[in-house]
Chain A
Amino acid sequence: MNRKALAAIGAAAALSLTLAACGSSSGDAPEDEATESGPVELSVAVWSMDQTPEFQALFDAFEAAYPDITIKPVDILADDYPEKVTTMLAGGDTTDVLTMKTLTDYSRYAGRGQLEDVTDLVTDYPDGKLAGTDGYDQDGKFFAVPYRQDFWVLYYNKTLFDAAGLDYPDHVTWDEYADLAQKLTGTDAAGQKVYGTYNHIWRSVTQAAAQAQNEGADLLSGDYGFLKDQYDLNVGLQKDGYALDYSTAKTQQVSYRTMFETQATAMMPMGTWYISGILQAKKDGKSTVEWGIAPMPQVDDVDQTTTFGGPTAFAVNKASKHKDAAKTFLAFAASLEGAKAISAIGVVPALQSDDVTAAYFALDGMPTDELSKEAFAPDDVALEIAPSDITADVDVILNEEHDLIMVGEKSVDQGIADMESRVKQDVLD
């Protein structure tokens, strides 16, 4: 009996030693990183690879250019990506390259000192103009290099516009857009309701648009009077039945892709990331929609197009054991070759050049009209929300109040007043 007890203690002790050994390896930076020779396996944290084909396209192109480096993707569910990466880094994970899904996440990791300084890759940039680098500036230092730059455009269904005998939405104002939404609402041949437009449930549809197009507006300021017109517009559209109501979209988890691809809506403000999605859906025969893109509607009747969006970037984990190879990957992703690899599947690269744009519109299935090309070159792309140490807290409040306004629990004025008082009280104080 005693022997068994001893064996049990021994086993438990062995177990605890193993666990202790696991724990102690975390946190420390690797000692040797300079010497890298022979084949390297580079791990890259990405999200939902099967729905985000750009990653595979980029990896294939990179491996072809650098045969002695192989990429090992670390695939993470898109919805849980920031939380998962936070937990990984807290546990001393050594995944070499981390994709920065949003600027807010980036400023958090960079602020904690979890990312390697890659300023030289951004400042000495050989291939031309790299868009969207401003958001990554942390007091003159850069800890990530953008490789794609998305911005919002107005998608529209050409067939539905033609059937209604309306002109395509060429540089329209928000009022004209609401007018079009009214005229385009109706029923299709099968008796299914067709909405004039579709606003997805994200707060940026309303808030980032208003911030980008109103002088001096700032979503971090605690003053939100500038949101009123845009909210009145979008609440009005759903109240009149010209847009699918928010409650239904939210409780039914309506996919914006389905709305547009099944031709249940004639217009839809959405980011350029969706272009690759439509191209794929049409290629697979899942949709027959005849589509085009137009510049985002504007507050005033001007020729200038101001829209909003955000870059996506790669960063090097400070705990990486292959920092040189990782930096090579970052440089490649931002280069002309990297840009070509992702634009070939309809993704908008951060690198801006006429070559890339020309190649982009030469893609099979891309609309080739002038309006679409104009939509693709907006005059100004504002950040959806500025990255800062209060962004995450403000974001939560803005989301909650947006929710209440859109489901009709609060009037627009009440919602805006509550945003102001909560942000001032809980965050700015």
Chain B
Amino acid sequence: MAITAAPPTAPTATSAGSGTTGRQSRRNTLIGISFILPNFLGFALLTLVPVVAAFGLAFMEWDSYNPAEFVGLDNFQKMFGNDTFWIALRNTLYYGIGHVPLTLLCSLGLALVLNRKLRGVRFFRTAAFFPYVTSMVAVAVVWNMLFNPTMGPVNQLLTTLGVANPPGWTSSTDWAMPAVIITSVWRDMGYYMILFLAGLQTIPVEYYEAARVDGANAWQRFWHITLPTLRPTTFLVLILLTVGSFKVFDLIVVMTDGGPGRATLVLSQLIYREGIAQGEFGYASAISLVLFVIVLLVTVLQFRLGERKDR
């Protein structure tokens, strides 16, 4: 993400001559750089170089062993003419549109409830965070059982509530994605709840006291004080959620493996399948490049919108 560090400002020289100021400034810059350098080197070697190399690979054909061959835009041509790619892209967007707002609302709701002085609030906070520390594989397997169309508790509950034809969940092309989204919201909301809780606790109580004196009701206090002061946290959560939902992989692989058919196949899974499993690393890199551009555009857009609101 494009977080730019403010350049070290030169200290205002009060008594020393002008030569010292220049040296001082350069010295400070060097110190600044030296602080970032270890981290940056690691990042450059282990992330930046592979990422740039992957972008190069997008224009080549490579089987991971023999020398790569430059093929121009062939990979992209293949991708845009292949309906599996479009299905995966659509599924990824579907997942994001379901997962991001739902998780945001649920985690904010949880945080608001658990920010009060309730008996046993610590227990409930831990309970809400628990899904996040649970192994993804265990989560997916257990939810798969809960969603079993005939014997699962979810459908048994729906039947007792009077639903005549409960959905087939992971064995139905229409309901597999909602099932995955529900599971992921359940898993992620505890984590983002913690972020919101931290945000909520930075809001000065005086604001609420003043609002109460002015006669504001609970909804007005939430709408005019809590939400605006929480905006930086909401923004962070939104960015993290969006990037996370474009990268979704593990949950889908364990829970549905992209099925039934291609109903839950997402881009990151397609990249893995084409690259690691099928050995078409160039084609897989081309899909990664497209995914990267999409994530970049969405994130830049979100930053722009965030900035405009701040003004």
- Spell out A's residues near B (CB within 8 Å): 1-2, 4-5, 8-9, 11-12, 15-16, 19, 82-83, 86-87, 89-90, 108, 112-114, 245-248, 250-253, 392-393, 396, 400-401, 403-404, 407, 409-410, 426
Residue in B168, B169, B279 with the greatest tally of chain A CB atoms within 10 Å:
B279
Q: Mark B141-156, 1 if CB is under 8 A from A, else 0.
A: 1001101111100000
Of the residues A2, A8, A108, A248, contact of B38 by C-beta under 8 Å: A8
Contact at A108–B279, with CB atoms within 8 Å? yes
- Measured CB to CB, the nearest residue on chain B to A396 is B273
Other than the known A1-B31, A251-B170, what 9 A-B pairs have Cβ atoms closer than 8 Å? A2-B31, A5-B37, A86-B276, A108-B279, A113-B66, A251-B148, A392-B279, A400-B258, A407-B171
Q: How far is the CA of A248 from the CA of B33 in the complex (A)?
A: 58
Report the minimum CB–CB distance from A3 to chain B (whole Å).
10
Q: Which 4 A-B pairs have the closest CB atoms?
A: A5-B34, A247-B171, A90-B64, A404-B261
Contact at B66–A112, with CB atoms within 8 Å? yes
- Measured CB to CB, the nearest residue on chain A to B261 is A404
Q: How far is the CA of A113 from the CA of B67 in the complex (A)?
A: 12
The reply on B84 being an interface residue by CB < 8 A is: yes
Which residues of B (88-136) have their CB < 8 Å from a CB of A?
A: none
Contact at A404–B260, with CB atoms within 8 Å? yes
Residue in A1, A16, A401, A403 with the greatest tally of chain B CB atoms within 10 Å:
A403
Contact at B144–A252, with CB atoms within 8 Å? yes
Which residues of B (274-307) have their CB < 8 Å from a CB of A?
A: 276-279
Q: How far is the CA of A367 from the CA of B31 in the complex (A)?
A: 79
Report the minimum CB–CB distance from B44 to chain A (whole Å).
9
Contact at A5–B41, with CB atoms within 8 Å? no
Contact at B150–A248, with CB atoms within 8 Å? yes
- Measured CB to CB, the nearest residue on chain B to A4 is B34
How many of chain B's residues have a CB under 8 angstroms from any CB in A? 41
Q: How far is the CA of A248 from the CA of B149 in the complex (A)?
A: 8
From known contacts A16-B41, A248-B151, A392-B278, infer whether A407 and B172 are also in contact, taking CB-CB under 8 Å.
yes
Contact at A393–B63, with CB atoms within 8 Å? no
Q: Which residues of A contact B233 (CB under 8 A)?
A: none
Report the minimum CB–CB distance from A406 to chain B (whole Å).
9
Q: Which residues of B contact A400 (CB under 8 A)?
A: 258-259, 261-262
Q: Interface residues of A: mostly helix, strand, loop or mixed?
A: helix
- Measured CB to CB, the nearest residue on chain B to A406 is B260
Contact at A16–B145, with CB atoms within 8 Å? no
Q: How far is the CA of A386 from the CA of B151 in the complex (A)?
A: 39
Contact at A251–B144, with CB atoms within 8 Å? yes
Q: How far is the CA of A251 from the CA of B167 in the complex (A)?
A: 14
Q: Which residues of A contact B262 (CB under 8 A)?
A: 400
Q: Which residues of B contact A2 (CB under 8 A)?
A: 27, 30-31
Contact at A9–B37, with CB atoms within 8 Å? yes
Contact at B45–A16, with CB atoms within 8 Å? yes
Q: How far is the CA of A83 from the CA of B278 in the complex (A)?
A: 9
- Measured CB to CB, the nearest residue on chain A to B144 is A251
Q: Which residues of A contact B63 (CB under 8 A)?
A: 112
The reply on B223 being an interface residue by CB < 8 A is: no
Q: How far is the CA of A113 from the CA of B64 in the complex (A)?
A: 11
The A/B interface has a contact count, at CB < 8 Å, of: 103
Of the residues B42, B171, B173, contact of A251 by C-beta under 8 Å: B171
Q: How far is the CA of A15 from the CA of B259 in the complex (A)?
A: 43
Contact at A89–B64, with CB atoms within 8 Å? yes
The reply on B219 being an interface residue by CB < 8 A is: no
Q: Mark B14-57, 1 if CB is under 8 A from A, else 0.
A: 00000000000001001101100110011001000000000000
Contact at B141–A253, with CB atoms within 8 Å? yes
Of the residues A11, A248, A252, A409, contact of B260 by C-beta under 8 Å: A409
The reply on B9 being an interface residue by CB < 8 A is: no
Contact at B144–A403, with CB atoms within 8 Å? no
Contact at A19–B65, with CB atoms within 8 Å? no
Of the residues A9, A19, A86, contact of B45 by C-beta under 8 Å: A19
From known contacts A83-B276, A400-B262, infer whether A409 and B151 are also in contact, taking CB-CB under 8 Å.
no
Q: How far is the CA of A2 from the CA of B33 in the complex (A)?
A: 11
From known contacts A11-B38, A400-B261, infer whether A251 and B279 are also in contact, taking CB-CB under 8 Å.
no
Q: Which residues of B contact A404 (CB under 8 A)?
A: 173, 260-261
Q: How far is the CA of A403 from the CA of B256 in the complex (A)?
A: 11
Report the minimum CB–CB distance from B156 to chain A (whole Å).
14
Contact at B41–A12, with CB atoms within 8 Å? yes
Contact at A86–B64, with CB atoms within 8 Å? yes
Q: Which residues of B contact A407 (CB under 8 A)?
A: 168, 171-172, 260
Contact at B261–A251, with CB atoms within 8 Å? no
Contact at A82–B277, with CB atoms within 8 Å? yes
Contact at B30–A5, with CB atoms within 8 Å? yes
Which residues of B (164-179) have their CB < 8 Å from a CB of A?
A: 168-173
Q: How far is the CA of A86 from the CA of B276 in the complex (A)?
A: 7
Q: Which residues of B contact A393 (CB under 8 A)?
A: 278
Q: Mark B186-222, 1 if CB is under 8 A from A, else 0.
A: 0000000000000000000000000000000000000
Q: Which residues of B contact A410 (CB under 8 A)?
A: 261
Q: How far is the CA of A82 from the CA of B272 in the complex (A)?
A: 13
The reply on B12 being an interface residue by CB < 8 A is: no
- Measured CB to CB, the nearest residue on chain B to A82 is B277
Q: How far is the CA of A119 from the CA of B151 in the complex (A)?
A: 54
Q: How far is the CA of A248 from the CA of B170 in the complex (A)?
A: 10
Q: How far is the CA of A410 from the CA of B84 in the complex (A)?
A: 18
The reply on B82 being an interface residue by CB < 8 A is: yes
Q: Which residues of A contact B273 (CB under 8 A)?
A: 396
From known contacts A89-B65, A247-B171, infer whether A9 and B261 are also in contact, taking CB-CB under 8 Å.
no
- Measured CB to CB, the nearest residue on chain B to A114 is B65
- Measured CB to CB, the nearest residue on chain A to B30 is A5
Contact at A426–B82, with CB atoms within 8 Å? yes
Report the minimum CB–CB distance from A94 to chain B (whole Å).
14
Q: Which residues of A contact B278 (CB under 8 A)?
A: 392-393, 396
Q: How far is the CA of A16 from the CA of B40 in the complex (A)?
A: 12
